[in-house]
Every structure is written in C-alpha cells, then in structure tokens.
Homo-oligomer: A and B are copies of this chain.
C-alpha cells in the first residue's frame, strides 16, 4: 500500500503497531552489557527480557479521558483502571507483579480532591494486585492522560504466550463474557430503556464496565500448571483475541467455537434484549472483560476446569481460521473485527 496521503485512521491500531515493530526488527540489537540478555515476544501482551531462569516482564498502557473514561466513571475508578489494564497484561503472561510506574498528564484545572481520589484508586488497585507504586511523573495536559508501566517476573518455564496452541487443545475462558459490554450499553443507552432493567443486573454490569478486575492470580496459577499452550487477555472482544492467538501460531492452526458453550450470563441477555442488541455479538466484538482466553492440553483440562473455574468454548483445529458452530449445528467462518481505535467504520 503506497503510504502517501493516507492518514492513520485508514489503518487500524494493530496495523500501526505491526508497522512500528516491523521497522524495529530490522535494527541490529546488541546489548552493551548483558551477553545473555535477549528480547522475546513482539506480539504478546507484554515484553519479555531474558534474565537467567526468569523473564522480566514489562508492559505499558495509555488511557485517555476522551477514549477510555466514560462520563460516569469516578476518579477513583480511573485510577483503578490504569492499574487494572496493566495487571491484566501481566496476567496474560502468567507473570507475578513487581511494581508499576505512572506517568500522568493532568488538566491544570483539575481539583486537588479529584487528584487525591485518583491516587486513592491507584493505590487500592496496587494493593489488590500486590504491586508497588515504584515511580511517578506528572505533566500538564489538555485531557486527563494516564500511562502505566508494569514490571513483573516469571520463571521461564511458567510463562504464558500467545503462540503455542496445538491441534486438539481445549479453548477456554476464565469467566462469563459480555458483562462489560452490557455495562457500556447501559452507560450510553437511553434512560427510558434502562429503567426496564432489573436494578441488580444494572449494578452488576455497570461494575464490570466502570471497575473491571484483572485475573492476575488466575494467570499466575494457569502458568504454573504447565498445561496452558497459549494465552491472552480479552480486552478487544473474543474474536479479535482468538485471531491474535491464530496469528501467533504456525500456519494451519485454527479454532472452532461452539455458540452454546460460550458463557453468556443472564444480565447480558437481558441488557441485549432491552437494548435490541444481539448478546452473542456483544461477546464476540466488544471487549473490556479482562477474562483470560487460553488453550490447554486436552489431558490437563479436566483437572483444571473445576479448580480454576474454566469454561471450555471450543477446540484448536487445523483449519487456519475461526469457525463458529451455532446452536442449530450450522457452521460459519468468521473474520476477526475487534475494537480498533482509529479504524473508520464502513
């Protein structure tokens, strides 16, 4: 594609990253200090630095008020969220947390009480995920901007990566899907329609959208089993993440999903009905659930299913594509179309 006169919204976020990394890989990298230090993993949720028997794991996420913080999100929830999205990247690698560094861009008219609430949220989440706040930096900016960088560590034989799925593996998720998507429907939906919703359901889906949790403990436990062949966290919708696992695998690896095995809770179905949406679409193409998506050796799965509360949703095949088998047994081939910043719709 000739690049002249295109702007970045003609590309998706993932294409931009690939453009960046493909340029970067042309560079010869030589560590001036550590002969044995090498860099692994360009396509994963975090970078891996080879360090003796372990990997140092590093990941960075940027959250911007206009894109990531709905109007009803409190400053405490914003603080929790920047830690959570980073912790979720560690979870996807099976990594133990060490600490987080926060660089913040703050609007100059932000109230100091709001800043303190933001800090409270950051520290609450740090404590929850057992990581230290190891550094910080503030700048003035037009919109509230939070950049978190998490450092973790994982023994080399316990690391989880996107590559590694093999034909016959079970495909599973760590919990119900679509609750965050339902929460965003409620946040942005019409008041009149939302009144029809069961108040308990409303609270639960809003909590998932505004105060999501990372599956950090479960990620570490999954890494320790030795049975997980690939993993990622579900931030961009199930299909997009399945596509990532297929892309990271050798040619030929594909995944078959069964519609009626996907754990869609009643809250999601009720919101979908009231909002006139398809609940399956909400699960497949909306993100932010922060559950983990894993492929697991078939022999190991039954033991882990109960102890780690895993839900099988399909299996790894050799089709090289994503196949969905619906409730009536009909087969459909689906293309990834996850949430992409920049991407023009249509």
A residues at B contact (CB < 8 Å): 3-11, 13, 16-17, 19-21, 23-24, 27, 29-34, 37, 39, 42, 46-47, 49, 51, 56, 58-64, 66-68, 96-99, 101-106, 108-113, 115-116, 119-120, 122-123, 126-127, 130, 132-143, 145, 147, 149, 151, 153, 341-342
Q: Using A9-B109, A116-B3, A147-B147 as known contacts, say yes or no to A103 and B61 having CB atoms under 8 A apart.
A: yes
Q: Determine how close the nearest CB of chain B comes to the CB of A36; give it in whole angstroms.
A: 12
Which of B20, B63, B108, B133 is A119 in contact with, Cβ under 8 Å?
B20
**A110–B31 Cα gap in the complex (Å)?**
33
Please name the residue on chain B nearest to A56 by beta carbon: B56
**A39–B134 Cα gap in the complex (Å)?**
7
Q: Is the interface of A mostly helix, strand, loop or mixed?
A: mixed
Q: Using A16-B138, A142-B142 as known contacts, say yes or no to A147 and B7 having CB atoms under 8 A apart.
A: no
Q: Could you pull out 5 A-B pairs where Cβ atoms are within 8 angstroms?
A: A7-B112, A29-B132, A32-B130, A58-B58, A62-B139
> Closest 8 A-B residue pairs measured CB to CB?
A147-B147, A33-B96, A62-B103, A47-B134, A149-B149, A47-B135, A24-B133, A140-B341
Q: Using A4-B113, A23-B123, A151-B56 as known contacts, say yes or no to A98 and B62 having CB atoms under 8 A apart.
A: no
**A98–B49 Cα gap in the complex (Å)?**
9
Please name the residue on chain B nearest to A30 by beta carbon: B130
- CB neighbours (8 Å) of A27 from chain B are 123, 126-127, 132-133
**A123–B316 Cα gap in the complex (Å)?**
37
- CB neighbours (8 Å) of A20 from chain B are 102, 119, 122, 133, 136, 138
